[in-house]
Structure 1
Amino acid sequence: MVVCVSRELYPPGRFNSEEDEDERPPAQLSVPQQRIRHAQTPLEVSTVGPAAHSRVKSATFVKSSVTVDQCPHATHPEFAVIGRSNVGKSSLINMLTKRTSLAMVSKTPGKTRCINHFLINNSWYLVDLPGYGYAKTSKANVKLWNDFTREYFVNRETLVAVLLLVDASIPPRDLDVEAAAWFASADVPYVVVFTKTDKHKKGAPHNEVNMETFLQSLAASGIPEPPTLRTSTKKAEGREAVLAYVAKLRDAFITSAAADE
């Protein structure tokens, strides 16, 4: 049995700290049968400059789901956040929204067990998915989580891109390379977001070496190099870059959806 995160851990709330006078009204999309997102090539990070509609004015937990059918109605662009357990997923979500407890930060890896939707600015979703690689539960549950998250990636019509989090403070892990390989083979747009770029473990290679080695591992596996971003939640670094990148992809997605209507 899959146990969902309790709603009390994600209380509904509204966050107002930044103003964006140009914020567009909520985007209601009519998505065609084909997955329009698969026709898009993720933008190179170097081409992304200041973006309109990138400020976070409100962030609200909507619901937890254990199947794709339970997810909120597909009317807003979505960006899924996933990575190896303990990579800093919840911390990144909290940094992006400037909410200290929007997403649960746990000392026990593997606590997120559902698809959790957070509505941003009433117009797009950040989606927190179960981490992979560690969970104190049965193998049957782990397989079930893997199955329903993969179904989400492949079948969710309004999924724009996946933010694949990779820990820059440690050498690359096979699971991270395998995740990137799966996204590439399934034609799911993704961007690698390196986390913990401020940390350096004694005796371990430098962060720059770890990040370069990860990209080399992708190349050695025949995986095209994805766009990459760097973040440090401790120093709040990379927040604007991630939000600007997301905003540009949202604009491209909405334009593509409108053209196909």
Structure 2
Amino acid sequence: MSLFRHARFETSIAKPSGLPDSDSPEIAFVGRSNAGKSSALNTLVGHNRLAFVSKTPGRTQLINFFRLPSGVALVDLPGYGYANVPEAVRRQWTNLLERYLSTRPNVIGVVHLMDSRHPLTPLDRQMLDWFAPTGRPVHILLTKSDKLSRGPAAATLMEVRSQLPQWGDNVTAQLFSSLKKTGVEETERVVGNWLEALIPDPEKQKPPAEEEGRG
């Protein structure tokens, strides 16, 4: 069964004080406004209307929680970088996003969405500069890859990957298309590895064997 299937909407949060009490793993989805974040979420969970999709950038103004049957939460954060809103609103969105990512201990990783035609913008780099030092993994989805032909898409992916070492070993990237439904299995594999890393290795939990001859 798909890792992301059967997600259900749980709650929307407007202020950091409203975050639900939970120690379950959370996977945060971040990206510039109009990077295709809501469309990607809908594609991953196999539900066309789970996350609201708008043609108007900047409509995701809340933190939206979607709960999987496993208890893991997919957390849709407000898009950043949209200038056509009042400064006070933009500051509120930024504060909400930063407070969540910096204070939420059960965020196990970030799925960072970038338009494949405009990857690694200054604001995307700023996000990586800020979050990558936490040591938690970041997986970049280069969205709308169907807008590029195969050659330019492959070249874009190669160029982005060549720049990732500056943010450490925990930042990875892939192509993704909500329209063509491509890239879902790779995303599941990456995020699945994050979750598997949380499961204790039973071999490592065994007490050390007594030295032979002691006792």
Instruction: Compute the TM-score of the two structures, normalised by the length of structure 1.
Output: 0.69
Match of 1:148 in 2: 96
Which consecutive residues of structure 1, in runs of 5 or more, have no partner in the other structure?
Answer: 1-19, 21-53
Paired amino acid for 1:58: H
Query: Is it true that 1:193 corresponds to 2:141 in the alignment?
Result: yes
Query: Is it true that 1:81 corresponds to 2:29 in the alignment?
Result: yes
Larger Rg over CA atoms: 2
Match of 2:60 in 1: 112
Contact 1:59 1:119 in 2 (8 A): yes
Match of 2:186 in 1: 241
Distance 1:149 1:172 in 2: 19
Distance 1:210 1:105 in 2: 25
RMSD: 2.3
Q: What is the CA distance between 1:143 and its match in structure 2?
A: 1.5
Equivalent runs, 1:177-216 vs 2, <5 Å: 177-200=125-148, 206-216=152-162
Distance 1:215 1:143 in 2: 31
Match of 2:77 among 129, 135, 143: 129
Contact 1:153 1:188 in 2 (8 A): no
Paired amino acid for 1:223: W
Query: Is it true that 1:223 corresponds to 2:167 in the alignment?
Result: yes
Q: What is the CA distance between 1:81 and its match in structure 2?
A: 0.5
Q: 1:64 to 1:135 in 2, by over 3 A?
A: farther
Equivalent residue pairs, number: 200
Which consecutive residues of structure 2, in runs of 5 or more, have no partner in the other structure?
Answer: 206-215
Match of 1:255 among 182, 188, 200: 200
Larger RCO: Structure 1 or Structure 2 (Cα < 8 Å, ≥ 6 residues apart)?
1
Contact 2:157 2:174 in 1 (8 A): no
Q: 1:140 to 1:237 in 2, by over 3 A?
A: same
Distance 2:194 2:25 in 1: 9
Distance 1:244 1:217 in 2: 22
